[in-house]
Structure 1
């Protein structure tokens, strides 16, 4: 789902999308001419591979997403805003944000129950 930057005002714009068993919902709100605040939550389950033994596992997500979205290149000399995603076609791609956030979550280490028990016994 794409939302044009021009359609977002200082009033909140609600969004709600679902993809691959995950629900991504929240608000978009204009902060400046080129920046939009995204406060959202990702809920649901996703597949992952145990980082120790390689079997398929399911992860339950309940993750808050707090981002600034930039219409074009963002320059933050003071590093004040934290996480900023830049878009270059005049639209916010909510599917892209969801995929990116899930990939970032999956980049952590996760173990199946059997491998967790191994760690407890060491």
Structure 2
């Protein structure tokens, strides 16, 4: 799903995307002409694997997402590091944000119940 920056409003534009057993829903709020804020949540189950033994596991997600979205190049004038995604075609790609957040989540280490016992968790 793509939402044009021009169509965003100050009260906010709500969205919801489903992928397998995951739901990504939230609101896009226009901050200024070239910037929007995404306040969202990812919930559901994600199929993954144990990073120790390779066994298939399910991860229960209930993750908050808070990002800034820039229409074009983002210039950090206050020298603060922020979570900002740049889009260059005048549209916000919700699917791209969703997939990026899932891949970021999966980059952590996850263990099955048996391996957690071996690790002493």
Q: Does the TM-score normalized on the shorter chain lie above 0.5?
A: yes
Runs of 4+ in 1 over 3 A off after TM superposition: none
* Residues 50 and 62 of structure 1, relative CA distance in 2, 3 Å threshold: same
For residues 29 and 48 of structure 1, the distance between their equivalents in structure 2, rounded to whole angstroms, comes to 32
**Partner residue in 1 for 2:21:** 21
- Tell me the alpha carbon deviations over residues 73-122 of structure 1, each in whole angstroms, 9 at most, x when there is no partner: 1010323361000011111010110100010000000000000010118x
> Unpaired segments of 5 or more residues in structure 1?
none
RMSD (Å) for aligned C-alpha atoms:
1.3
For residues 78 and 91 of structure 2, the distance between their equivalents in structure 1, rounded to whole angstroms, comes to 26
The Cα of 1:35 is off from its aligned counterpart by: 0.3
1:111 paired with 2:111, answer: yes
For residues 77 and 103 of structure 2, the distance between their equivalents in structure 1, rounded to whole angstroms, comes to 27
**Partner residue in 1 for 2:68:** 68
**Partner residue in 2 for 1:51:** 51
Check conservation: 1:51, 1:111, Cα contact below 8 A. yes
The Cα of 1:29 is off from its aligned counterpart by: 0.6
**Partner residue in 2 for 1:6:** 6
Length, aligned pairs only:
121
For residues 16 and 9 of structure 1, the distance between their equivalents in structure 2, rounded to whole angstroms, comes to 17
**Partner residue in 1 for 2:35:** 35
Describe how 1:73-92 pairs up with structure 2 within 5 A.
73-80=73-80, 82-92=82-92
TM-score normalised according to structure 1 size? 0.94
